[in-house]
Amino acid sequence: MITLRELTKRYGETVAVDGLTLDVKGGLVTGFLGPNGAGKSTTMRMILGLDHPSGGEALIGGRPYSSMRHPVREVGALLDAKALHPARSARSHLVAQARSNGIPVSRVDEVLEMVGLAKVARRSAGAFSLGMHQRLGVAGALLGDPQVLVFDEPVNGLDPDGVRWVRELVRSLAAEGRTVFLSSHLMSEMQLTADRLVIIGRGKLLADTPMADLLAGSALSSVRVRTPDMADLHTLTRHLLKDGDVRVETPAAGELVVRGRSSEQVGDLAHGLGLRLHELRTVAASLEEVYMELTARSVEYGTGDPLPDGPRSGQTRGAEA
């Protein structure tokens, strides 16, 4: 499990991460979302001991990453897929990691096979495509067979087959009881992959909830109603609008989209009015819709004035992600 308690990071006057408190539990894929500049990458770097917190703590299994003797055996991480020597082959890159962490070299060939790079294992990594770099990064994360995995944008650069492969991989790892903490900007893919979501904006926690609860509880969810009789449609609309907290839209002839009422409530009303319906179904909000609404006031933090030559005064690049 990953535990954050009042985790804070400041760069001068800029607060990149602001008092994050949460538990990332095993057996689940926990998605980590937020606009650019929200503090996602900075949070992950503090979890992995690459940045020192200004306050609070980040623990893995109750211990800081820096206290682990062989960290690769306990925590697998992919933050920057191109953080390797370009002249080394994929295999030699992983062999160096294995030997420095007391891992049998035979494990290198196992993970290269797992990520689909066995046939190019002796090719210079500098010649790899972005997608191949991502696969090599995943191989490095899996090298020590760790119980905790931290992935920052692992599907970046992958084709649809590779994206599906990552999805199935992380879900299988979570099914084994491992802790999987995953960031991505692909909302549709995150909706398919994550069991739980952590969303931050301007360094603050906005949501920490199961995916299903976040979508089901959204006011953006709607009920679609279809009837063959326009008079019935107008009657239903008139009665629905008697309640001020209900919104009714008419996207097409013979159809209504109702927000603010459940399908059961709409169905009971139609039955009571003696109206004939051909369709009555709940349309759940997409993760993208819910996310955009939730982070609407946080986006400006990442899209302000462009930086002409580097970070803003008092801010380092580590605070940007």
- Please check the confidence at residue 311 and state whether its pLDDT lies above 90: no
Residue 115 parent element (H or E): none
Asked if the model's pLDDT at residue 317 lies above 50, the reply is no
Please check whether residue 245 is in contact with residue 214, taking contact to mean a CB–CB distance below 8 angstroms: no
* 7 closest CA partner among 52, 67, 61, 72: 52
Confidence of residue 312 (pLDDT cuts 50, 70, 90): very low
Report whether pLDDT(151) > 70: yes
Helix, strand, coil percentages (3-state) for the chain, rounded to 5, are 35, 25, 40
| More confident position, 171 or 70 | 171
Of 136, 155, 128, 147, the residue nearest 74 (C-alpha): 147
pTM, two decimal places: 0.79
Q: 150: part of which helix (H) or strand (E)?
A: strand 148-152
200-252 pLDDT per residue, tens: 999 999 999 999 888 877 777 889 999 999 999 899 999 999 877 788 888 88
Instruction: Among 8-12, 141-145, 152-156, 248-252, name the one with the lowest average pLDDT.
Output: 248-252
Could you tell me the pLDDT band of residue 126, with boundaries at 50, 70 and 90? confident
pLDDT, tens digit, 9 for 90 and up, residues 71-81: 999 999 999 88
Q: What is the pLDDT of residue 94?
A: 94
What domains can be seen in the chain, in order of their start residue? 2-215+290-319 (3.40.50.300), 222-283 (3.30.70.100)
Mean pLDDT of the chain: 88
The pLDDT score that the predictor gives to residue 319 is: 40
**Most confident listed range (1-10, 126-135, 209-218, 288-297):** 1-10
pLDDT at res. 308:
40
> Long-range CB contacts (< 8 A, 24+ apart) of 115-120?
115/139, 115/142, 116/165, 117/90, 120/90
Choose among 99, 104, 2: nearest CA to 47. Answer: 2
pLDDT level of residue 316 (50, 70, 90 thresholds):
very low
pLDDT value of residue 310: 40
pLDDT at 285: 83
Both tokens assigned to 64: 């800081």
